[in-house]
Amino acid sequence: MATIYIVMGVSGVGKTTIGKAIAQQLKIPFYDADDFHPPSNKDKMASGTPLQDEDRWPWLDTIVVQYPQWKFKGAVLACSALKKEYRSRLQVDHKQVETIYLSASFAFVQQRLSVRKNHFFNPTLLQSQFDTLEAPESGIICDATLSKDSLVRHIINTMKQQTTSQLGLIGLGVMGKSLSRNFANHNITMSLYNRHVPNVEEDVAVQFVYSYPELKDSCGFDAIEAFVNSLSLPRKIFLMVNAGPAVDAVVTSLEPYLSIGDIIMDGGNSHYLDTERRTKALQEKGIHFLGVGVSGGEEGALKGPSIMPGGTTEAYEHVGPLLEKIAARDTHGNACCAKVGSGGSGHFVKMIHNGIEYAEMQLIAEVYDILRHHGMLSLEEIAQIFDLWNEGEENSYLLEISSKIVRKTEDGQPLIDVILDKAQQKGTGSWSTTAALQIGAPFDTIAQAVLARIISSEKEQRVKGQQHYNIEREEITNFDIATIKSAYHTARIINHAIGFETLRKASKHYDWDLHLSEIARIWTNGCIIRSTLMEQLIPILDGFDDTILFHESVIPQITNGQSNLKIIVQQAMGTGASIPVFSASLSYFNAMIQGDSSASMIQAQRDFFGAHTYQRKDKEGTFHTVWE
């Protein structure tokens, strides 16, 4: 039995035009329900008298009687079918009846009818149609204000997609749009859904699908049920909505339509503990939930991001091949995407990525500040230094963009000089700091980068401070670029060591089985912290069960670089610079190489004022001293 498609909506919305075009494309007959009205109904309509229920029942029965002739080839029927019960009547004798609802506002239809030539139009009749209309919530729902071609394409694609889309994506912000185009460019059939906010976000997915040729086989939805039903089983749904309550809200709206074994992936920057909670809650219902870290910004999302999924192997087997298709490639051509671990590990790894990102950004800002305000170099000279460094082992995406940033002018003026010096943040940097402290991971460089952003945002206080103290920044007299480069290199290694050690601790703490070398590999391309250093860390982290600072290939580098790091920290701090990440990296390094630390004093103080006890170097046990 073939499907009978009922193109429905109020008079004048375009049912006949669209219905005929669909029938032509599907190569099946078209019928106009108006042709089945008894003469009495036709007379009423011609005189502008609205039809009532009792007029419509015999008319619908006449149509249904035709079904036996239509059911083998299928058919397209243009019929107002305004009420739910009319549609039920049209479906009663045939299982495969699909409604295609052409939706439009009263004003739109009125305007369209008013310009129709040779058409009798009675506004009372139109009002009565809108009063009678009970808009369907399922079936194919379309925005009738789209062009004829767009509408027909949408309807045909929706029909094709109804059981065949490989992947669904929810949330068409900047990242969601770019990822959808990336999936489509890799021949992955997509269903796209964006929330419906009356007068604000309407038909976003449908409109988006028609804006890009690569989405020609994708389908946009404004109704969640139709979206879910368009996905092949097990359903794979990628969320690109704002982290926080929006993720819970979308998951709740999806749940009634999902089946056991379906997979939801959260591609936003969600907090990993939220991901753990959602994973457990959905697991109990037989639904897989994967926290998927995605890095690379808008361009990465479109051309190849670094992807960090965490969750069950069973779920990854279904979604991995799709994610790996759209990911960036490493130098060997392998996807910068791999299951990083179980539970909320994907979002944890992405969070630490962002922490490293914060400190890497801050280090470049500190280098820039030293070169500009203490080395007295021009912006062009700084850009040239960054370019030179980028040609060698300091190469990184962040350094590349920083060179472009210092060269950028607007109306002949350097843009950097007019950008307000208040750094914003969305939260992942401070989340990573809190999370590291909670599992006892020293996070010096990253915590300082977060604090630097916080202090930067206190602009008014800083300006007051400048007025109160009026201490000029001084020039560094014996300025040496090679020393700064070496200090920068050393601080970067220390920052990466801190990031990866936090991952190591978290992996043990949460039992995630993270593979640090593999994480470094998927961070070599597509993501914001891609760099030559990251490439070098892949073999260093492979099978090495300790901090990279103790690796035989790193020790000589740090041995050479640490003295330069000391020089730069002394020079910069001594001349009035604020260099929190440079100084934190040195402080961390100094602490990590002190077999004897100042903590004996802390323990003694704790015992002195609180009888908290201490342990000793010379004998086993727990001790308390009566100090006075």
Cα separation, 531 vs 399, in Å, equals 9
- Name the CA radius of gyration of the chain, rounded: 32
| Rounded Cα distance, 519 and 306, in Å | 10
CA distances from residue 239 to 135, 220, 291 in whole angstroms, order as listed? 28, 15, 10
Cβ 522 to ligand 6PG, closest distance in Å?
Answer: 12
Write the CB contacts of 306 (distance below 8 Å, at least 6 apart in sequence): 294, 295, 296, 300, 327, 328, 336, 337, 522, 523, 525, 526, 527, 530
* DSSP string for 548-599: GGGSTTTHHHHHHHHHHHHHHHHHHHHTT---HHHHHHHHHHHHHT-SS-TH
Rounding to the nearest 10 degrees, give the CA dihedral for residues 412, 415, 420, 426.
160
Sheet holding 97-103, edge to edge: 30-32, 75-78, 4-8, 97-103, 140-143
Number of H helices, E strands in the chain: 27, 14
| Closest by CA position to 268, among listed 169, 167, 360, 398 | 169
* Closer to ligand 6PG by Cβ: residue 220 or 346: 346
Which C-beta is closer to ligand 6PG: that of 330 or that of 357?
Answer: 357
Residue 310 is inside which H or E element, if any?
strand 306-310
Smallest gap from Cβ 424 to ligand 6PG, in A, equals 6
Structure tokens belonging to residue 389: 């460094």
Active-site residue, selected from the candidate residues 236, 350, 360, 535:
350
Which of helix, strand or coil describes residue 331? Answer: coil
- Nearest-approach distance from CB 398 to ligand 6PG, in angstroms: 11
Judged by the rule CB under 6 A, the positions of this chain that interact with ligand 6PG are 269, 295-297, 354, 357, 424-426, 428-429, 527-528
Kindly report the backbone phi and psi dihedral angles of residue 441, in degrees, each rounded to the nearest multiple of 5, phi listed first: -100, 125
Nearer to ligand 6PG by C-beta: 296 or 304?
296
Active site residue 214: no
- Minimum CB distance to ligand 6PG smaller for 176 or for 296: 296
Question: In a 3-state reduction of DSSP, which class is residue 531?
Answer: strand
Closest approach of ligand 6PG to the CB of residue 431, in Å: 10
Q: Least distance in Å: CB of 572 to ligand 6PG?
A: 24
Is 357 an annotated catalytic residue?
yes
CA distances to 396, 506, 578 from 360, in Å? 10, 21, 16
Closest to ligand 6PG by CB, 86 or 238: 238
Which one, 161 or 269, has the nearer CB to ligand 6PG? 269
Residues in the chain: 628
Separation of alpha carbons 298 and 289, rounded Å: 24
Q: How far apart are CA 502 and CA 355, in angstroms?
A: 10
| Side chain identity, residue 500 | F
Of 427 and 442, nearer to ligand 6PG (C-beta) is: 427
**Least Cβ distance, residue 506 to ligand 6PG (angstroms):** 18
- CB-count exposure of residue 173 (10 Å: 0-12, 13-18, 19+): middle
Q: What residues contact 97, with CB distance under 8 A and at least 6 apart?
A: 3, 4, 5, 6, 90, 91
Please, what is the minimum distance in Å from the beta carbon of residue 357 to ligand 6PG?
A: 5
The nearer residue to ligand 6PG, 229 or 425, going by C-beta atoms, is: 425
Tell the smallest beta-carbon distance from residue 453 to ligand 6PG (Å): 8
Nearer to ligand 6PG, 452 or 568 (CB): 452
Residue 567 near residue 483 (C-beta atoms within 8 A): yes
Rounded least distance, CB 452 to ligand 6PG, Å: 12
Nearer CB in complex with ligand 6PG: 184/528? 528
**Under 8 Å between Cβ of 305 and 474:** no
The minimum distance between CB 365 and ligand 6PG, in angstroms, equals 13
Which of 71, 276, 339, 357 is flagged as catalytic? 357
Running DSSP on this structure, what letter comes out for residue 365? Answer: H
Rounded-to-integer distance, Cα 94 and Cα 71, Å: 8
Shortest-Cβ-distance residue relative to ligand 6PG: 295
Q: How far is the CB of 345 from ligand 6PG (least distance, A)?
A: 16
Nearer of residues 244 and 297 to ligand 6PG, judged by Cβ? 297
Cβ 513 vs Cβ 507: under 8 Å: yes
Cα 490 from Cα 589, distance rounded (Å): 10
Please enumerate in sequence order all residues whose Cβ is within 8 A of that of 63, keeping only pairs 6 or more positions apart, or say none.
33, 36, 77, 79, 90
- Hey, which residues are catalytic here? 350, 357
